[in-house]
Amino acid sequence: MKYSLVFLIGFFLIVTSPVLAQFKEKPVINLENEDKAFLNWGYFLGFNQFDFKFEYKNDLDDVLVAKSIGFNVGLIGEMRINEFLDLRFEPGLFYTKRTLGYSGFTDESDAIRDVKSTYINFPLLLKVSARRLGNWKPFIIGGVSASLNLGSNENSPDDNSSGTFRMTKKLYNWEIGFGIDFYTEYFKFSPSVRGIFALSNELVPDNDPNSPWTGNIDAMKTRGVFVNFTFE
């Protein structure tokens, strides 16, 4: 529900902002040739909120997830296909923290697992833009990505019985989002909202197949939303 609300608000802003911009008659056109180069470069900063989607083997108590705000930073390489299509490569670093809560434990050290993840993300994306309206241009963007989780603990011999929650190091996702290009006097500024959805199972099960932490989990997949502020 929260993700749907964020996307609806973002969609409303994208649709209405270009219309409001037209109230200013004959605006001064900034960076008129900005999008004509075959290759463009930039960087982004932003924040995120990641979650987990669990698939269970049996109908028992769900694992609770407490989410927090993380941050993003990365680079952008863009190849122009035509006026409306661009191919983008956006390698970046995403830091996030999720806290998992398990029922059935009396000791907090057993009931709580803090899952800190530092993802290095490598997305290949197609950006589809509308026609430029003055100094505004809305777009949608989507594609696939591969990530490395530097905090996965995948190769650790310890598991949850020793307080170590393990995840796979490699992760594959699909991404979709939307935003607006703003053409200022000196650079192009592009805020965007994007969802990321894992295609692969991230969970490394505990050594005990009947583990109270992982025994009932069939699959655990990352999903999340992030807001980027791009400068090109």
Range of the domain at 48: 2-231
Q: The whole model's pTM is what?
A: 0.82
What per-residue confidence (pLDDT) applies to 185? 87
Q: Could you tell me the CATH number of the domain that includes residue 122?
A: 2.40.160.20
Q: How many domains does the chain have?
A: 1
- The CA distance from 2 to 31, in Å, is 36
pLDDT digits (tens, 9 = 90+) for 116-154: 999 999 999 999 999 998 898 999 999 999 999 999 999
What per-residue confidence (pLDDT) applies to 2? 53
From residue 165, alpha-carbon distances to 88, 91, 135, 141 in Å are: 34, 26, 48, 33
Residues 6+ apart with CB under 8 A from 93: 72, 73, 74, 118, 119, 120, 121
